[in-house]
Amino acid sequence: MDFSSLLSPKEHLNWCKDIIFSEVISIDVLTLDAWAKKYNVYYVDFMWLDLQGSELDVLKACPKLLKTVKAIWTEATYGEMYKECARYPQLKQFLENEGFTFVCTSGGLGFMFDALFVRNDVYKEVTSQLDWPALLKSFSREKG
């Protein structure tokens, strides 16, 4: 199975032996801020990032658009799956400094997973409106 990334593979080669990086090509890239300006996009409510190790670079390169984002679902890793990729602790710290709250992780292979971050004010508003006892009771096996 062919695979692609802007970064060169590193630990990825050890963990996923059926994935092949068959060639190196050059491509033009555009920051999200430049893309938003070009296409008159003024805000993004939800951002989904699966960029094979480039997530933090992309976020750092879009400070204007990032200020409008309410939630981010992003791939993350604890290992150096790609050469010089950011690890989860750096990604988490950056997003917390930008006003986001970590909410949860999902799936993955242990070293690679997805994480949800929500803008602090949105997180506070949503969680303040939850009926926590009712929510917890809905997960209970006891009915009544």
Q: Which stretches does DSSP call E strand in the chain?
A: 46-49, 71-77, 100-106, 112-119
Q: What are the sequence ranges of the domains in the chain?
A: 12-139
Name, in order, each residue with C-beta under 8 angstroms of 120's C-beta and a sequence gap of 6 or more.
99, 100, 101
Residue 121 has pLDDT above 90, yes or no: yes
DSSP three-state, residue 66: helix
- C-beta of residue 2 within 8 angstroms of C-beta of residue 20: yes
Over residues 87-91, the mean pLDDT reads: 86
- C-beta of residue 60 within 8 angstroms of C-beta of residue 109: no
Over residues 71-81, the mean pLDDT reads: 78
Over residues 104-122, the mean pLDDT reads: 81
Q: For residue 137, which phi and psi values (nearest 5 degrees)?
A: -65, -35
